[in-house]
Amino acid sequence: MKKTFLLGVGAQKAGTTWLYEYLHGHPNADLGFMKEYHIFDTLYVPECRHWLNTYVQTALTSLQKDPTLQDKSNYVFKLLDFYRAPTNYFDFFEHLARSSASLQLTGDITPSYSALDSLHFKYIRSELIARGFQVRVVFLMRDPVERAISGVRMRLRTRGEPTTAEIENEWLRTYYASMAYQIRARYDRTITNLEKVFEPSEIKYCFYEEFFNRSMIEELCLFFDIPLHEPDFTKEFNVSRTSHVIEQSLRHEVYEFYKPVYAFIEQRFGQRITTELWKQY
């Protein structure tokens, strides 16, 4: 039986970390040494190039601490090797998949892969197919307004500073239309690019608002060709909730900006998503 490669392409703040943790604990899955490898977004998406600088600085710091460090003994050197020659990325997963007979699933869940274009998806798919994988793409989506709010709160949380409602509103007003946010929220563009490359049977679309239930995880395990491993929905990861109120007028402003996304999703998946799962602003 062919091994499965999961390509998780987003969206950020839509449940991808929970999915990773679920698979990390699955006896038939091994996603390697990271959740988000950030290889192809770093190589091909200008807004994501900062990942390379981050890893280079991390590598330099490691070498300063231990000049004898072998370049395969630290995750950051593996990543730099993947950037140097992306074929090494595919070779790594091929070797990982062959390392155990019980291993049925491996993969890479990097939400900002949602910004890749069809040519990049075509390259990734062809390399994986050439190595004997069956490819499965998962795209988790969340109400764009709520996703933007959660994204802002996550950025503020990582700064480690106290926040207020005024700060959260100002950050949302400043960043919701930035390219860094758009590349993660233009679901219409991501879906269009995916469907130019992958077969319908290779893509699974899910919505954050109805993701955390046993039947959905059963569907995903069937999609991945792995047995169900009982999910634990009491676990939460990267939670960004606060009690601060986001102004309704600002929510409407964000909604208007991403209105083409709402329209596309409604046309593609039906009104149930935009009227029952997502809010009206």
pLDDT in tens, the chain (281 residues): 789 999 999 898 899 999 999 999 999 999 999 999 999 999 999 999 988 888 888 887 877 776 666 555 578 888 999 999 999 999 999 999 999 999 999 999 999 999 999 999 999 999 999 999 999 999 999 999 999 999 888 888 887 777 899 999 999 999 999 998 999 999 999 999 999 999 999 999 999 999 999 999 999 999 999 999 999 888 776 666 778 899 999 999 999 999 999 999 999 999 999 999 998 88
CA distance 61 to 165: 37
The predicted model scores a pTM of 0.92
pLDDT for the residue 102 = 94
C-alpha to C-alpha distance for 136 and 205, rounded to whole angstroms:
11
Q: What is the rounded radius of gyration, in angstroms, for the C-alpha atoms of the chain? A: 19
For 139, the 3-state DSSP assignment is strand
Confidence (pLDDT) at 25? 94
Q: Phi/psi at 147 (nearest 5 deg)?
A: -65, -40
Structure confidence at residue 31 (pLDDT): 97
CB neighbourhood size of 58 (10 A) = 16
Q: How many CA atoms lie within 13 A of 53 on its CB side?
A: 5
164 vs 156: CA distance, rounded Å: 10
CB 166 within 8 A of CB 100: no
Q: Per-residue b/e over 189-207, b at no fewer than 16 CB within 10 Å?
A: bbbebbeebbeeeebbbbb
102, containing H or E segment: none
64: left (phi over 0), alpha (psi -120 to 50) or beta: alpha
- Residue 38, Ramachandran bin (φ over 0: left; ψ between -120 and 50: alpha; else beta): left
Please report the pLDDT score of residue 65 as a whole number: 73
- C-alpha span between 115 and 11 (Å, rounded): 10
The pLDDT score that the predictor gives to residue 54 is: 86
Look at residue 193 and give its three-state secondary structure: helix
Ordered structural domains, the chain, with CATH: 4-277 (3.40.50.300)
